[in-house]
A and B are shown apart, each in its own frame.
Chain A
Amino acid sequence: DQQVKQNSPSLSVQEGRISILNCDYTNSMFDYFLWYKKYPAEGPTFLISISSIKDKNEDGRFTVFLNKSAKHLSLHIVPSQPGDSAVYFCAASGSGGGADGLTFGKGTHLIIQP
Protein backbone atom coordinates (compact mmCIF):
# COMPACT_ATOMS: atom_id res chain seq x y z
CA ASP A 1 0.00 0.00 0.00
CA GLN A 2 1.89 3.00 -1.31
CA GLN A 3 0.92 6.15 0.55
CA VAL A 4 3.12 8.42 -1.59
CA LYS A 5 3.14 7.83 -5.33
CA GLN A 6 5.34 9.21 -8.05
CA ASN A 7 3.87 7.75 -11.21
CA SER A 8 6.56 8.90 -13.63
CA PRO A 9 9.75 6.85 -13.23
CA SER A 10 11.59 9.20 -15.58
CA LEU A 11 11.20 12.59 -17.24
CA SER A 12 13.27 14.18 -19.98
CA VAL A 13 13.28 17.99 -20.37
CA GLN A 14 15.25 20.34 -22.54
CA GLU A 15 17.69 22.71 -20.85
CA GLY A 16 16.07 26.09 -20.17
CA ARG A 17 12.51 24.71 -20.18
CA ILE A 18 10.29 24.01 -17.18
CA SER A 19 10.45 20.64 -15.40
CA ILE A 20 7.30 19.53 -13.59
CA LEU A 21 7.49 16.56 -11.24
CA ASN A 22 4.28 15.19 -9.76
CA CYS A 23 3.43 13.38 -6.56
CA ASP A 24 0.16 11.98 -5.16
CA TYR A 25 -0.57 10.85 -1.63
CA THR A 26 -3.36 8.90 0.02
CA ASN A 27 -2.90 9.56 3.76
CA SER A 28 -4.88 12.64 4.81
CA MET A 29 -2.87 12.78 8.07
CA PHE A 30 0.22 14.00 6.26
CA ASP A 31 1.06 17.55 7.31
CA TYR A 32 4.46 18.16 5.77
CA PHE A 33 5.73 17.47 2.30
CA LEU A 34 9.33 17.58 1.16
CA TRP A 35 11.27 17.12 -2.04
CA TYR A 36 14.70 15.53 -2.03
CA LYS A 37 17.25 15.31 -4.81
CA LYS A 38 19.60 12.36 -5.10
CA TYR A 39 22.73 11.96 -7.20
CA PRO A 40 24.28 8.49 -7.70
CA ALA A 41 26.43 7.30 -4.77
CA GLU A 42 25.19 10.15 -2.57
CA GLY A 43 22.45 10.41 0.02
CA PRO A 44 19.26 12.39 -0.69
CA THR A 45 19.61 16.13 -0.13
CA PHE A 46 16.76 18.37 0.96
CA LEU A 47 15.45 20.66 -1.76
CA ILE A 48 12.22 22.36 -0.74
CA SER A 49 9.21 21.73 1.49
CA ILE A 50 5.65 22.82 2.08
CA SER A 51 3.30 22.44 5.02
CA SER A 52 -0.36 21.60 4.66
CA ILE A 53 -1.45 25.13 5.62
CA LYS A 54 0.11 26.54 2.45
CA ASP A 55 -0.54 25.92 -1.22
CA LYS A 56 2.71 27.25 -2.64
CA ASN A 57 6.32 27.65 -1.59
CA GLU A 58 9.04 29.18 -3.70
CA ASP A 59 12.83 29.06 -3.42
CA GLY A 60 14.76 30.44 -6.34
CA ARG A 61 14.19 28.25 -9.40
CA PHE A 62 12.14 25.74 -7.37
CA THR A 63 8.44 26.04 -6.56
CA VAL A 64 6.28 23.43 -4.87
CA PHE A 65 2.48 23.50 -5.21
CA LEU A 66 0.11 21.63 -2.92
CA ASN A 67 -3.51 20.77 -3.75
CA LYS A 68 -4.89 19.26 -0.55
CA SER A 69 -8.32 18.43 -1.93
CA ALA A 70 -6.73 16.40 -4.74
CA LYS A 71 -3.95 15.08 -2.46
CA HIS A 72 -1.48 16.16 -5.10
CA LEU A 73 1.74 18.13 -5.10
CA SER A 74 4.11 19.16 -7.82
CA LEU A 75 7.63 20.52 -8.05
CA HIS A 76 8.39 23.07 -10.76
CA ILE A 77 11.95 23.81 -11.78
CA VAL A 78 12.44 26.78 -14.08
CA PRO A 79 14.65 27.18 -15.95
CA SER A 80 15.98 23.63 -15.93
CA GLN A 81 19.76 23.28 -15.88
CA PRO A 82 22.05 20.29 -16.62
CA GLY A 83 22.97 20.04 -12.91
CA ASP A 84 19.31 19.35 -12.16
CA SER A 85 19.65 15.87 -13.67
CA ALA A 86 19.09 13.56 -10.69
CA VAL A 87 16.45 11.38 -9.03
CA TYR A 88 13.81 13.42 -7.20
CA PHE A 89 11.92 11.96 -4.26
CA CYS A 90 8.69 13.26 -2.86
CA ALA A 91 8.32 12.59 0.90
CA ALA A 92 5.63 13.23 3.49
CA SER A 93 5.33 13.26 7.26
CA GLY A 94 2.61 13.58 9.87
CA SER A 95 2.22 16.23 12.55
CA GLY A 96 5.05 14.70 14.55
CA GLY A 97 7.51 15.88 11.95
CA GLY A 98 10.71 13.90 11.97
CA ALA A 99 9.47 11.73 14.83
CA ASP A 100 6.95 10.14 12.46
CA GLY A 101 9.62 9.27 9.94
CA LEU A 102 9.34 10.22 6.30
CA THR A 103 7.26 8.28 3.78
CA PHE A 104 8.89 8.43 0.37
CA GLY A 105 7.69 7.87 -3.17
CA LYS A 106 9.70 5.71 -5.58
CA GLY A 107 11.32 8.71 -7.21
CA THR A 108 11.41 10.31 -10.66
CA HIS A 109 14.63 10.34 -12.66
CA LEU A 110 14.89 13.79 -14.26
CA ILE A 111 17.14 14.07 -17.29
CA ILE A 112 17.95 17.53 -18.61
CA GLN A 113 18.85 17.43 -22.30
CA PRO A 114 21.34 20.08 -23.58
Chain B
Amino acid sequence: DAGVTQSPTHLIKTRGQQVTLRCSPKSGHDTVSWYQQALGQGPQFIFQYYEEEERQRGNFPDRFSGHQFPNYSSELNVNALLLGDSALYLCASSLGDTDLYGYTFGSGTRLTVV
Protein backbone atom coordinates (compact mmCIF):
# COMPACT_ATOMS: atom_id res chain seq x y z
CA ASP B 1 0.00 0.00 0.00
CA ALA B 2 1.78 3.14 -1.26
CA GLY B 3 2.03 5.95 1.21
CA VAL B 4 2.32 9.63 0.32
CA THR B 5 4.67 10.22 -2.61
CA GLN B 6 6.40 13.55 -3.21
CA SER B 7 8.52 14.64 -6.16
CA PRO B 8 11.16 15.69 -6.68
CA THR B 9 13.10 14.80 -3.53
CA HIS B 10 15.60 17.61 -3.96
CA LEU B 11 15.55 20.79 -5.99
CA ILE B 12 17.84 23.81 -6.45
CA LYS B 13 16.38 27.03 -7.83
CA THR B 14 17.61 30.57 -8.33
CA ARG B 15 16.09 33.55 -6.54
CA GLY B 16 13.17 34.97 -8.53
CA GLN B 17 12.35 31.71 -10.28
CA GLN B 18 9.17 29.70 -9.92
CA VAL B 19 8.90 26.11 -8.65
CA THR B 20 6.27 23.36 -8.70
CA LEU B 21 6.26 20.52 -6.20
CA ARG B 22 4.06 17.45 -6.55
CA CYS B 23 2.28 15.14 -4.14
CA SER B 24 0.34 11.91 -4.59
CA PRO B 25 -1.79 11.06 -1.55
CA LYS B 26 -1.97 7.72 0.20
CA SER B 27 -4.38 5.31 -1.45
CA GLY B 28 -7.91 6.00 -0.21
CA HIS B 29 -7.16 9.55 0.93
CA ASP B 30 -8.83 12.55 -0.70
CA THR B 31 -7.38 15.55 1.14
CA VAL B 32 -3.91 17.07 0.81
CA SER B 33 -2.23 19.56 3.13
CA TRP B 34 1.12 21.27 2.56
CA TYR B 35 3.65 22.28 5.19
CA GLN B 36 6.95 24.17 5.10
CA GLN B 37 9.69 23.10 7.51
CA ALA B 38 12.61 25.53 7.74
CA LEU B 39 15.88 24.38 9.30
CA GLY B 40 15.55 23.96 13.06
CA GLN B 41 11.82 24.66 13.02
CA GLY B 42 8.68 22.58 13.15
CA PRO B 43 6.48 22.20 10.06
CA GLN B 44 4.28 25.24 9.30
CA PHE B 45 0.86 24.84 7.71
CA ILE B 46 0.63 26.39 4.24
CA PHE B 47 -2.82 25.27 3.03
CA GLN B 48 -5.20 22.35 2.64
CA TYR B 49 -6.94 21.11 -0.51
CA TYR B 50 -10.18 19.17 -0.37
CA GLU B 51 -12.63 18.56 -3.24
CA GLU B 52 -10.21 20.43 -5.52
CA GLU B 53 -10.56 23.64 -3.52
CA GLU B 54 -8.27 25.45 -1.11
CA ARG B 55 -10.10 25.10 2.21
CA GLN B 56 -7.81 26.63 4.78
CA ARG B 57 -4.65 28.68 4.55
CA GLY B 58 -1.88 29.41 7.01
CA ASN B 59 0.12 32.63 7.22
CA PHE B 60 1.77 32.45 3.80
CA PRO B 61 1.79 35.07 1.02
CA ASP B 62 -0.02 34.72 -2.31
CA ARG B 63 3.26 33.67 -3.92
CA PHE B 64 2.34 30.25 -2.56
CA SER B 65 -0.48 28.66 -4.52
CA GLY B 66 -1.71 25.18 -5.14
CA HIS B 67 -3.96 22.91 -7.06
CA GLN B 68 -5.71 19.61 -6.50
CA PHE B 69 -6.57 17.33 -9.40
CA PRO B 70 -9.59 14.99 -9.78
CA ASN B 71 -7.37 12.02 -8.80
CA TYR B 72 -6.66 13.87 -5.49
CA SER B 73 -2.99 14.52 -6.29
CA SER B 74 -1.78 18.04 -5.64
CA GLU B 75 0.79 20.62 -6.68
CA LEU B 76 2.37 23.41 -4.67
CA ASN B 77 3.60 26.39 -6.70
CA VAL B 78 5.88 29.09 -5.36
CA ASN B 79 6.51 32.20 -7.48
CA ALA B 80 9.28 34.80 -7.22
CA LEU B 81 11.41 32.59 -5.01
CA LEU B 82 13.25 34.17 -2.08
CA LEU B 83 16.27 32.82 -0.24
CA GLY B 84 13.99 32.38 2.77
CA ASP B 85 11.85 29.89 0.85
CA SER B 86 14.64 27.34 1.24
CA ALA B 87 13.07 24.57 3.32
CA LEU B 88 11.71 21.04 3.40
CA TYR B 89 8.21 21.01 1.93
CA LEU B 90 6.01 18.28 3.35
CA CYS B 91 2.76 17.00 1.95
CA ALA B 92 0.25 15.22 4.18
CA SER B 93 -2.83 13.35 3.04
CA SER B 94 -5.94 12.38 4.97
CA LEU B 95 -9.48 11.13 4.45
CA GLY B 96 -11.79 14.14 4.62
CA ASP B 97 -10.88 17.69 5.49
CA THR B 98 -11.34 17.26 9.25
CA ASP B 99 -9.45 13.96 9.59
CA LEU B 100 -6.59 14.36 12.01
CA TYR B 101 -5.54 10.94 13.20
CA GLY B 102 -5.17 9.57 9.69
CA TYR B 103 -2.81 12.37 8.66
CA THR B 104 0.05 10.73 6.73
CA PHE B 105 3.12 12.67 5.74
CA GLY B 106 5.40 12.16 2.77
CA SER B 107 9.18 12.34 3.05
CA GLY B 108 9.24 15.85 1.63
CA THR B 109 10.94 17.88 -1.10
CA ARG B 110 14.10 19.72 -0.07
CA LEU B 111 14.10 23.09 -1.88
CA THR B 112 17.26 25.18 -1.93
CA VAL B 113 17.08 28.73 -3.30
CA VAL B 114 20.42 30.27 -4.29
Contact = CB atoms under 8 A, between A and B. Distances in A.
B90 A98 contact: no
A5 B70 CA distance: 38
Interface stretch (B12-20, B79-87, B96-104): B96-104
Nearest to B110: A41
Interface string A21-44: 000000000001010100001111
B94 A98 contact: yes
Contacts of B40: 106
Interface in A6-24: 6
Interface of A is mostly: mixed
Contacts of A104: 35, 42-44
Given A99-B56, A101-B48, A107-B42, A49 B101 contact: yes
A82 interface: no
Interface in A69-114: 89, 91, 93, 96-107
Contacts of A32: 100
A103 B100 CA distance: 12
B78 interface: no
A49 B100 contact: yes
A72 to B, nearest CB: 17
Counting chain A residues whose Cβ lies within 8 A of the other chain, the interface size class is 20 to 34
A53 to B, nearest CB: 15
A70 B96 CA distance: 32
A108 B31 CA distance: 28
B105 A45 contact: yes
Nearest to B34: A101
Contact of A89 (B42, B48, B107): B42
Identify which of B43, B104, B108 gathers the most chain A CB atoms within 10 Å of its CB.
B43
A89 B41 contact: no
Identify which of A6, A43, A44 gathers the most chain B CB atoms within 10 Å of its CB.
A43
Contact of B97 (A34, A44, A99, A102): A99
Nearest to B37: A104
9 contacts: A42-B107, A46-B103, A96-B98, A98-B94, A101-B47, A101-B48, A102-B103, A103-B45, A104-B35
